[in-house]
């Protein structure tokens, strides 16, 4: 790996400082974003921005989440913001910070939508307690962990949190049953704040869209839904042990991602437009965006499609690459979505 994990942790700890991403963006780039074509006002689809797109800047201590709502509105001319739990850098319980973040969102006319919740130790690349564990004690710890993020989502005005369902034990049916139990218990809590729980295709069992939809049907609640993601690794059935470097490796057992998105769309409470690499014409080379957007248009889904640019993260692990910077990648994804929706 090119990045040192300990250094990464140190940089994340510094990310709560005063450096703003706005200072890193040139005026010409800002103007190009402002002049970009906006989605039509009569479209049932709108575009939001996921904070994970700026993960390399977070690692470098150059991204502060409190500036995110203003950046979404003024730099990218969008009105929807999606969050990543790691970017809170330990401030998810800080009432003053959350109040300021919500106020900045309101002041800039930005709708906060979803928090992607990752209970992950970046030093060891080990997951925390899982809602999908066969151990009832571990599932209880996982429920308590996610309750904190339900509260955080409620305080900043989001409608959902995205959970992970990591499991290395049991059959698919056994895991489905324990997930149904733990998620139902979490929903008993989240529903009191009108917060939904969404399941993203995130590799492993969740890469199987039929398994995910079966789980959603099992739970049978208005507060459960899906978060279809365009990414190849998101539909990787035999995803390796999590390591950031694995993002650059090909998947050996791939679920058809176009079929998967189609199957997940009836339950979607959000959509993640994963992007990685663009050619000179502005086409995303890993996903047929025309096909994906057509699937979405032909569904009953209405709401935000979230830009989640991953190319700049991949560039950290490939010495020679032509991946765009976070800012450029977000602009390229935005331009492509605007053309299609």
The predicted structure's pLDDT at residue 321: 83
The predicted structure's pLDDT at residue 189: 98
The predicted structure's pLDDT at residue 102: 98
The predicted structure's pLDDT at residue 25: 53
Query: HEC string of the chain?
Result: CCCCHHHHHHHHHHCCCCCCHHHHCCHHHHHHHHHCCCCCCCCCEEEEEEHHHHHHHHHCCCCCHHHHHHHHHHHCCCCEEEEEHHHHCCCCCCHHHHHHHHHHHHHCCCEEEEEECCCEECCCCEECCCCCCCCHHHHHHHHHHHHHHHHHHHHHCCCEEEECCCCCCCCHHHHHHHHHHHHHHHHHHHHHHCCEEEEECCCHHHHCHHHHHHHHHHHCCCCEEEECECCCHHHECCCCCCCHHHHHCCCCCECCHHHHHHHHHHHECCEEEEECCECCCCCECCCCHHHHHHHHHCCCCCEEEEEEECHHHHHHHCCCCCCCCHHHHHHHHHHHHHHHC
Domains recognised in the chain with CATH numbers:
5-340 (3.20.20.150)
The predicted structure's pLDDT at residue 126: 82
List per-block mean pLDDT (blocks of 10 residues) for the chain, which spans 341 residues.
42 44 47 45 87 95 97 98 96 98 98 96 82 97 98 98 93 97 98 98 95 98 98 84 63 93 98 97 97 98 98 85 95 98 95
The predicted structure's pLDDT at residue 40: 46
């Amino acid at each position: 790996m090119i990045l040192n994990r300990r250094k990464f942790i140190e940089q994340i700890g510094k990310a709560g400082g005063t450096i703003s991403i706005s200072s890193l963006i040139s005026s010409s780039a800002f103007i190009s974003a402002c002049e970009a074509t906006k989605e039509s006002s009569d479209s049932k689809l709108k575009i939001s921005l996921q904070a994970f797109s700026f993960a390399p800047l977070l690692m470098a201590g150059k991204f502060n989440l409190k500036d995110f709502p203003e950046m979404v509105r003024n730099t990218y001319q969008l009105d929807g913001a999606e969050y990543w739990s790691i970017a809170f850098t330990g401030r998810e319980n800080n009432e003053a910070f959350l109040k300021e973040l919500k106020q900045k969102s309101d002041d800039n006319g930005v709708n906060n939508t979803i928090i992607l919740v990752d209970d992950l130790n970046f030093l060891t690349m080990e997951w925390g307690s899982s809602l999908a564990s066969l151990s009832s004690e571990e599932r209880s710890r996982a429920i308590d962990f996610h309750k904190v993020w339900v509260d955080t989502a409620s305080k900043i005005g989001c409608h959902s949190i995205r959970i992970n369902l990591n499991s290395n034990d049991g059959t698919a049916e056994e895991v489905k049953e324990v997930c149904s139990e733990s998620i139902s218990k979490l929903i008993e809590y989240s529903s009191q704040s009108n917060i939904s729980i969404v399941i993203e295709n995130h590799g492993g069992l969740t890469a199987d869209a039929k398994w995910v939809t079966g789980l959603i049907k099992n739970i049978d609640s208005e507060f459960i839904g899906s978060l279809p993601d365009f990414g190849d690794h998101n539909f990787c059935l035999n995803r390796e042990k999590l390591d950031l470097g694995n993002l650059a490796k090909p998947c050996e057992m791939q679920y058809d991602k176009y079929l998967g998105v189609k199957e997940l769309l009836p339950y979607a409470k959000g959509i993640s437009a994963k992007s990685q690499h663009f050619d000179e014409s502005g086409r995303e080379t890993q996903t047929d965006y025309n096909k994906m957007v057509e699937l979405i248009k032909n569904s009953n889904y209405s709401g935000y499609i979230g830009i989640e640019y991953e190319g700049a993260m991949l560039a950290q692990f490939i010495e020679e690459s032509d991946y765009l910077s976070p800012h450029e990648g977000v602009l390229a994804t935005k331009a492509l979505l605007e053309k299609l929706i």
